[in-house]
Amino acid sequence: MADMTKRRAIVTGARGQLGQDLVKVLSGAGWQVYGPGREELDFTDPEAVEREFARIRPDAVIHAGAYTQVDAAEEDYGGAFLVNAFGTRNVAMEAERYGAKLVYISTDYVFDGTGSEPYRESERTSPVNVYGESKLAGEKFALRLSSRAFIVRTSWVYGLNGGNFVKTMLTLADSRDTISVVNDQIGCPTYTVDLALAVSRLIETERFGIYHAAGGGQCSWYEFARAIFQRAGRTVWLNPVDSSAFPRPAKRPAYSVLGQTALTAAGVPALPHWEAALDAFFHEWEHANAPRYSKLG
């Protein structure tokens, strides 16, 4: 049964790396949080979404669930669109039925990466891969079907839970002395806790619209890897290479730094610089605690 004494939030993709931190941060901020995994709620099933939303009658919905396998999506256009576009349609329609605020987590991959200045929230989108196209279609459903939608684009996400670039680098270092890392893609690494905190603040406002929320500053994957090994105290020979050294099915934007004017204009503090965020990640990982979760309570 839904607890009707507290504000209720549904987090989709709650078992994903961002979803798990969203559940903790929103719970710490006083929300009654419902975080169904795919087994409890497959949001590509419109009737299942209708039933779950009728049971919970949410005040807010954070739609973090997504088809996130960027390379697999190139060969699975139907699968990516089913989840990222039509799944978002189902979630947005039901959120609107209950007058709930909707946060749709989107991506820097809606841009083509040919820019050289941080992308503004209003800038023309032009995805270069199927994943980006499907996430952009999801943005459109969210904006058209919900009158209370926040689109929150983020990038290069890593967290304590789930697989990500930080963990991949550390695992590779267990078996290799030399690691080649791409040095011609520039973006903003984003720590899930910082993003979840920004989302929890944004949904306290009524300033619906498009936002960019990513770690401050910018770096290449090579620079990110170098910073990871410095903090981990690991000695590894890092070899900067061009993307052409790692041919992959999906093209990636070369430059996808997200400018974050809208967030601060809405009164939400910008996310910390990516290097400070990486320090916090290692601290929270090594100490197996996440002190900032409870600060909002």
Ligand X SMILES: NC(=O)c1ccc[n+]([C@@H]2O[C@H](COP(=O)([O-])OP(=O)(O)OC[C@H]3O[C@@H](n4cnc5c(N)ncnc54)[C@H](OP(=O)(O)O)[C@@H]3O)[C@@H](O)[C@H]2O)c1
Binding residues vs ligand X (CB under 6 A): 12-13, 15-19, 38, 41-44, 64-68, 83, 87, 105, 107, 135, 154-157, 162
Between 15 and 207, CB nearer to ligand X: 15
Least distance to ligand X, CB of residue 190, Å:
7
DSSP symbols for 211-280: EE---BS-EEHHHHHHHHHHHHT---EEEEE-GGGS--SS---SB--B--HHHHHTTPPPPPBHHHHHHH
Q: Which two tokens stand for residue 91?
A: 């979630």
Identify whether 158 is a catalytic site residue.
Answer: no
- Rounded to the nearest whole angstrom, what is the least distance from the CB of residue 4 to ligand X in the complex? 25
| 87/253 with CB nearer ligand X | 87
- In terms of residues, how long is the chain? 297
96 near 57, Cβ under 8 Å? no
Out of 67, 104, 131, 293, pick the active-site residue: 131
Residue 43 or residue 211: which is nearer to ligand X going by CB?
43
Q: How far is the CB of 237 from ligand X (least distance, A)?
A: 26
Taking residue 131's Cβ as centre, other Cβ atoms within 10 Å add up to: 26
Q: Are strands 186-187 and 219-220 parallel, antiparallel or unpaired?
A: antiparallel
Q: Given the complex with ligand X, which of 107 and 220 has the nearer CB atom? A: 107
CB-based closest residue to ligand X: 16
Q: Which helix (H) or strand (E) holds 48?
A: helix 46-56
Shortest distance (Å) from residue 171 CB to ligand X:
17
Going by C-beta distance under 8 Å and a sequence separation of 6 or more, which residues neighbour residue 119? 108, 111, 212, 256, 257, 258, 259
Asked if 59 and 33 touch (Cβ cutoff 8 Å), the reply is no
- Please identify every residue annotated as catalytic: 131
